[in-house]
Amino acid sequence: MRRLLGLVLLAIVLAATALAQSSPEEKVPPGENDRSIAAVYSGVAERIVGAALVDDRASRRLEWLSDHIGNRLSGSPQLDLAIAWALREMERDGLENVHKEKAMVPCWVRGHESAELVSPTKRPLVMLGLGMSTGTPPEGITADVVVVRSFDELEAQGEKCKGKIVLYNAPFTSYGETVQYRVQGASRAAKLGAVAALVRSVTAVSLRSPHTGTLHYAEDQPRIPAAAITIEDAETLARLQARGERVRVTLKMEAKMLPDVESANVVAEVRGSERPDEIVLVGGHLDSWDVGTGSMDDGGGIAVSWEAVRLVKRLGLRPRRTLRVVLFTNEENGTRGALAYKDAHASELAKHVLAIESDSGVARPTGFGAGKAASPAARAAFKEIASLLRGLGADRIGEDGGGADIAPLMKEGVLGMELSADGSHYFDIHHTQADTFDKIDRTSLSMCSACMGVMAYIVADLPERVR
Ligand SMILES: [Zn+2]
């Protein structure tokens, strides 16, 4: 295995060297001995990739988190357990400066909930309340339903929404576009007098599975309860309405907000040998929704970020700069962990060389997305490092990238990057009861660890800081 990998990597190095010579714009500033990054680091990249592929620590870790702790919503005892577990295990790994950093997080509790079609026929609807939603009165809300496919259609309904339950039956285009109905739908409907909102789950694929996720209430609108229903049920209600039938639904939700509670980001390092004050950060979020076991979102992300740093330690490598892994808290409903990290590290943000987030799944890695702020020189360096991952099919550097947890850092000028993985099935299970460990492919997970390890280690070790 290692020999084969060696041959592949040798070929990659030769190809990369040839490429650097043939196209000057691809060339990075000359480093020590005027040798390319790929040439200097091919050996160490091979060691990291090899170690990642033969060691199943990351997948065993994720399996344990999934099966023993399960889902981990902010404010839940499970998230506290996960934080304590991560601290313990990182100490056991021999990582350095293992500690937690306090963050106050919202505490939203789902409670019992249900939705039922009561006219023109009676049948339960499969639903999940949206995170941060308010509840209904104990007897529920029973009202006629207005089905719309877009905000334009909502506006066209105008006054007709008054006293009704608005259902957004928006087909999935992209997550970024379609998620607006989940995030803003309740307040946009409330503005027109609606008493509750239902949202077709934000996914292209459904086996009658509802997808939760957070909503944001506008300050100036009444807070109405909101829930996700399945594509199948949304389409049923749409067909009934299209036939001119009176569609009535009863929605019952006990959801409520409790006072903020204390949580924490988990931090560990391999300290730099020459410039320990300069930092390359890798991370994901330890919290999850309160459904499934949060194995993909974002158990996978924290597993590969953590493993990247552990492998560096285990191989006895010590980069020039500090390699830091951060397991952020509360990404799903508040990003308070991300904000707390930014505040706690305000004085050293200028020393953050790069922040890499993994929060797009851990299927087969395809490379990385580098934030728009990356300079041509930085992009060229990233491309050259990624060329060392060509054997894994992960040598692509996308035009854009980031993540919710590193977004506050990027806003302050820190270079941001995301691990990119095959996303063709990511949203099938996103924020559902089906986000469980069986969806994790162990080999792909190892490959993701390898990619994170190679990129983070080399950026942390380059003689010249990437800017
Ligand atoms: Zn996530």
Residue 33's pLDDT is 57
Tell me: the pLDDT tens digits for 231-254? 999 999 999 999 999 999 999 999
Q: Does the pLDDT value for residue 14 go beyond 60?
A: no
Please name the fold of domain 2-106+260-461. Aminopeptidase (3.40.630)
pLDDT of 36 over the 50 cut: yes
CA atoms in the 13 A half-sphere facing the CB of 345: 27
Which is more confident, 9 or 366? 366
Among residues 397, 261, 406, 388, which one has the least CA distance to residue 325?
406
Contact 362, 436 (CB under 8 A): no
pLDDT, tens only, 38-60: 999 999 999 999 999 999 999 99
Which pLDDT score is estimated for 407? 98
- The Cα 201–Cα 434 span in angstroms is 14
Average pLDDT value for residue range 343-357? 98
Average pLDDT over residues 297-307: 98
Report how far ligand 1's centroid is from the alpha carbon of 449 (Å). Answer: 17
Distance 230 CA to ligand 1 centre (A): 21
d(CA 300, ligand 1 centre) in Å:
9
Q: Which residues are catalytic?
A: 331
Amino acid identity, position 142: T
What gap in Å lies between CA 347 and CA 370, rounded to an integer? Answer: 24
pLDDT greater at residue 31 or residue 79? 79
CA of 428 to the centre of ligand 1 (A): 14
Distance of CA 350 to the CA centre of its chain: 24
Are 82 and 306 in contact by the 8 Å Cβ rule? The answer is no
CA of 462 relative to ligand 1 center, distance in Å:
30
Domain with CATH 3.40.630.10 in the chain: 2-106+260-461
Torsion over CA: 72, 369, 308, 405 (sign): negative
pLDDT of residue 349: 98
pLDDT on residue 35: 82
Average pLDDT of the segment spanning 58-79: 98
| The pair of three-digit structure tokens given for residue 88, joined into one six-digit string | 């313990």
Residues of the chain with CATH 3.50.30.30: 111-254
pLDDT of residue 118: 98
Question: Rounded mean pLDDT of 434-455?
Answer: 98
What is the rounded average pLDDT of the residues 14-39? Answer: 53
412-420 average pLDDT score: 98
Q: Residue 26 — very low, low, confident or very high, per pLDDT cuts 50/70/90? A: very low
CATH 3.50.30.30 at 111-254, yes or no: yes
Mean pLDDT throughout 186-207? 98
Q: For residue 296, report the distance from its CA to the centre of ligand 1, in Å.
A: 8
List 327's β-bridge partners, or say none. 266, 284
pLDDT tens column, 137-164: 999 999 999 999 999 999 999 999 999 9
Cβ atoms within 10 A of the Cβ of 77, count? 9
> What is the model's pLDDT at position 5?
52
Three-state secondary structure string covering the chain: CHHHHHHHHHHHHHHHHHHHHHCHHHCCCCCHHHCCHHHHHHHHHHHHHHHHHHCCHHHHHHHHHHHHHCCCCCCCHHHHHHHHHHHHHHHHCCCEEEEEEEEEEEEEECCCEEEEEEECCCEEECEEECECCCCCCCCCEEEEEEEECCHHHHHHHHHHHCCCEEEECCCCCCHHHHHHHHHHHHHHHHHCCCCEEEEECCCCCCCCCCCCCECCCCCCCCCCCEEEECHHHHHHHHHHHHCCCCCEEEEEECCEEEEEEEEEEEEEEECCCCEEEEEEEEEEECCCCCCCCCHHHHHHHHHHHHHHHHHHHHCCCCCCEEEEEEEECCCCCCCHHHHHHHHHCHHHHHHEEEEEECCCCCCCEEEEEECCCCCHHHHHHHHHHHHCCHHHCCCEEECCCCCCCCHHHHHCCCCEEEEEECCCCHHHHCCCCCCCHHHCCHHHHHHHHHHHHHHHHHHHHCCCCCC
pLDDT at 347: 98
Among all chains, which residue has been given the structure tokens 């009676």? 122
Residue 352 has pLDDT above 90, yes or no: yes
Q: What's the 66 CA to ligand 1 centre distance in angstroms?
A: 15
- Alpha carbon of 448 to ligand 1 centroid (Å): 16
- For residue 436, the CA-to-ligand 1 centroid distance in Å is 14
Mean pLDDT of the region 254-283: 98
Quote the ligand 1 centre to 332 CA distance (angstroms). Answer: 7
Q: What percent of the chain has pLDDT over 90?
A: 93
CA distance 302 to 286: 7
The rounded Å distance from CA 94 to ligand 1 centre is 27
Looking at every residue in the chain, the average pLDDT score rounds to 94
Q: Which residue has the tokens 């576009």?
A: 177
